[in-house]
Amino acid sequence: MNRYSAWAVFKNGLSGHRGWTRQWRDPEPKKAYDIVIVGAGLHGLATAYYLAKNHGLRNIAVLEKGWLGGGNAGRNTTIVRSNYMMPGNREFYEHSLKLWENLSHDLNYNVMFSQRYHVTLLHSPAARDAAARRYNTMRLTGSDGELWDLATLKAEIPHLNYNNARFPITGAAVQKRAGNARHDAIAWGYARAADSLGVDIIQNCEVTGVTRNGGEVSALETSRGTIAAKKVGFAVAGNSSRLWQMAGLGRLPIESHKLQAFVSEPLKPLLDHVVVFGVGGAHFYISQSDKGGMVFGGDLDWYKSYAQRGNLPMVQDVAECATSIMPCLGRVRLLRHWAGVMDMSMDGSPFICKTSLKNLYLNAGWNYGGFKASPASGWYFADLIANDRPDPVIENHDLERFRRGVNIDERGAGPDPKLHG
């Protein structure tokens, strides 16, 4: 593997940049591995990387039915933040944000992580009180967060709708260490780093069956032959239920829903921050990419779906949100929009856990929040697989928590998956 550096760019420049090699291998699958991770999305790749790096394990494969990072890794709005409050989530997402802060150096790959502030608009005294509670909890647990009054917000972002909004903006809750990153770079960075530690990343390899030997998984049937495994990890959010049923394990506390995202034509620099708007049924988040496109999204399409395509009522809904907080976007044209399939869980929080099969581990239920979570998800999932016990941070991220009466429900929306946006 070429190590990337300014010196490497200079040196390869002398030879016409013909010295660069491919970033990861394209190996044939072996007959057997110690650990097989299903799903080469951000979570699967991060898991393989931390298994190799943190736990010194080798002989690992990551199976991917399509191409690397072609699922939800490429279908998100790239927002990274840790403004979660519930025990379990608070430590988990803070750890993830800390990993993000050093990820480019760790992977020797520029993931373009930009700590450009995550600005949640507030519209009422009650919303301000709720935000104060949440952001104070964050500050008391080693994170950052602050409340902005209207004058501060106006100075920072002068072109929001301060004049005639249906719900007047009264201030904002801000996490300055939050921001966004380049989604493809994360997938490629993790893939390259894992590959350099000997992980086999096997693309176009769809799992079609799970062979069980009593209470264990013995092998995976794939479109590229049978692959035996001592330990298996599922990281296929969106399709977790399908794989779960292939393993004969029945039902999960998950429904698959689709979420759309949008990008506009490129504009000159307009918005420096990630801005979030949610009041009176609206739900909207927007930032500007380095190429200039306005990247934004809103609610789910509201009905269960495995189709990676969105429906038009939500396009209208999101466009209305956009023009209600940034009327200056009124004549901007939409360039693309797409939909990804989400594992929506019963309390809006994920699962990283052991299962009823001895050597099978589950990573699922990421709802809207999988992108920001991917480093910590890989970190704790790798730790779980390597040591066969959950770290205390994820001790309630198991499938049995509802039976114990534990809900990690940030929104307080109850057991209706579509409401956990």
Partner 1 sequence: MIIINCPFCGPRDHSEFGYGGDASIDYPALDAPMDEWHDAIFLRENICGMQAETWHHVNGCRMWLIVERDTMTHEIKSVRPAHGGNAAVLENVAEGGES
Using CB under 8 A as the criterion, which residues of the chain lie in contact with partner 1 when the complex forms? 239, 241-242, 250-256, 302-307, 311-313, 346, 402-403, 415-418
Q: Nearer Cβ to partner 1, position 173 or 210?
A: 210
Closest C-alpha to 119, from 177, 35, 72, 54 = 177
Q: Nearer Cβ to partner 1, position 88 or 253?
A: 253
Closest C-alpha to 369, from 170, 76, 91, 67 = 76
Q: Nearer Cβ to partner 1, position 122 or 254?
A: 254
Q: Nearer Cβ to partner 1, position 252 or 352?
A: 252
Q: Nearer Cβ to partner 1, position 26 or 320?
A: 320
Least distance in angstroms from the C-beta of 313 to partner 1:
4
Least distance in angstroms from the C-beta of 55 to partner 1:
32
Least distance in angstroms from the C-beta of 350 to partner 1:
15
Least distance in angstroms from the C-beta of 418 to partner 1:
7
Query: What distance in Å separates the CA atoms of residue 341 and residue 347, rounded to the nearest whole number?
Result: 17
Contact predicate 178/81, CB 8 Å? yes
Query: What distance in Å separates the CA atoms of residue 405 and residue 416, rounded to the nearest whole number?
Result: 16
Least distance in angstroms from the C-beta of 244 to partner 1:
9
CA dihedral of 98, 100, 102, 107, whole degrees rounded to 10: 140
Pairing state of beta strands 118-122 and 274-277?
parallel
Query: What distance in Å separates the CA atoms of residue 134 and residue 201, rounded to the nearest whole number?
Result: 40
Contact predicate 100/375, CB 8 Å? yes
Q: Nearer Cβ to partner 1, position 7 or 303?
A: 303
Least distance in angstroms from the C-beta of 307 to partner 1:
6
Least distance in angstroms from the C-beta of 242 to partner 1:
6
Q: Counting beta carbons within 10 angstroms of the beta carbon of residue 413, is it exposed (0 to 12), middle (13 to 18) or buried (19 or more)?
A: middle
Q: Nearer Cβ to partner 1, position 16 or 405?
A: 405
The residue with tokens 């590229």 is: 224
For 352-413, the DSSP string reads EEE-SSTTEEEEE--TT-HHHHHHHHHHHHHHHHHHSS--GGGTT-STTTTTTT----SS--
